[in-house]
Amino acid sequence: MKVSKVMVIGAGQMGSGIAQVCAQAGYQVLLNDLKQEFVERGLGIINKNLSRNVDKGRMTGEQKQEVSARLTASTDLNDAAQVDLVIEAAVENMEIKTKIFAQLDEIAPAHAILASNTSSLPITEIAAATKRPEKVIGMHFMNPVPVMKLVEIIRGLATADEVYQVIEDMTKTLSKVPVEVNDFPGFVSNRVLMPMINEAVFTLYEGVATKEAIDEVMKLGMNHPMGPLTLADFIGLDTCLYIMETLHEGFGDDKYRPCPLLRKYVKAGWLGKKTGRGFYTYE
């Protein structure tokens, strides 16, 4: 099976990044979201990234135009009727994702693969919303997508070997490194990362050190490019909390209990960089 046309659902930071790397790799891409303004904002992010690449000499103006020409705006899920692969990058919520996948199952051609960019939710459960569970798979890209090399590829219980192979091969065409992971809550990346972030929040909550000191210890002592509290602000504290809750519920183990301070910040609307305030304050 050959992938030539891709639909990306969700034109936010992750979705626009996925659409960009697919278009750069030569795929025809439909960038879909609920409203035209959301899609236009996503296309604007892509245009800014491509312009930066031209300015830095990574691509020519002509190449930028070619990439842009491969991107099409979409606000209708029925556009999935003409694609080979759908990559869903909607909000991290099981109810929303299963609803989208049930609709896609009705619309997309029989050969089409349905992939989710979920960062923690079970692919098997998402696949159960469709009549083609063998063609459902996880493609967990890292943020920022155009820069980060890793894609976790997650097999659901029923994912077919040939579907896995198509997605692994396609991932390589995006200049990414595919890593095969089985379907457990949080996969590998967030099962390891989120408890570390949560523990950093507990360290702050218990008054062990200031936020700056905690981040400095991890940067200088563990050679992390940014501290865990800064990273949490960049990811979004609501997303961190949701993933911790998914891990806590999925494993039933209290070592994944979200820190009360994380919960308090989310309730206060302090979600990190996107709201201007999290553990740190942003302009």
152 in active site: yes
What residue numbers bound the domain in which 217 lies?
A: 190-275
> Averaged over 209-216, what is the pLDDT?
98
With respect to residue 283, please indicate whether it lies within any of the assigned structural domains. no
With respect to residue 225, please indicate whether it lies within any of the assigned structural domains. yes
CA–CA distance, 25 with 28 (Å, rounded to integer) = 9
CA–CA distance, 76 with 256 (Å, rounded to integer) = 38
16 in active site: no
Whether residues 36 and 133 share a domain: the answer is yes
Whether residues 24 and 153 share a domain: the answer is yes
CB–CB of 215/265 below 8 Å?
no
Give me the CATH number covering residue 229. Answer: 1.10.1040.10
Whether residues 101 and 235 share a domain: the answer is no
**Given this model, what pLDDT does residue 1 score?**
82
With respect to residue 51, please indicate whether it lies within any of the assigned structural domains. yes
Using the 3D structure, point to which of 126, 160, 182 is the last residue of a domain.
182
pTM of the model: 0.92
Using the 3D structure, point to which of 158, 182, 206 is the last residue of a domain.
182
- DSSP-based three-state secondary structure for 55: helix
Catalytic residue among 53, 120, 190, 198: 190
Residue % of the chain over a pLDDT of 70: 100
Catalytic residue among 152, 180, 249, 283: 152
Whether residues 210 and 157 share a domain: the answer is no
For 107, the enclosing helix (H) or strand (E) is helix 94-107
Using the 3D structure, point to which of 148, 182, 216 is the last residue of a domain.
182
For the chain, how many structural domains are there in total? 2
120 in active site: no
Give 171's pLDDT tier (boundaries 50, 70, 90): very high
**Given this model, what pLDDT does residue 283 score?**
83
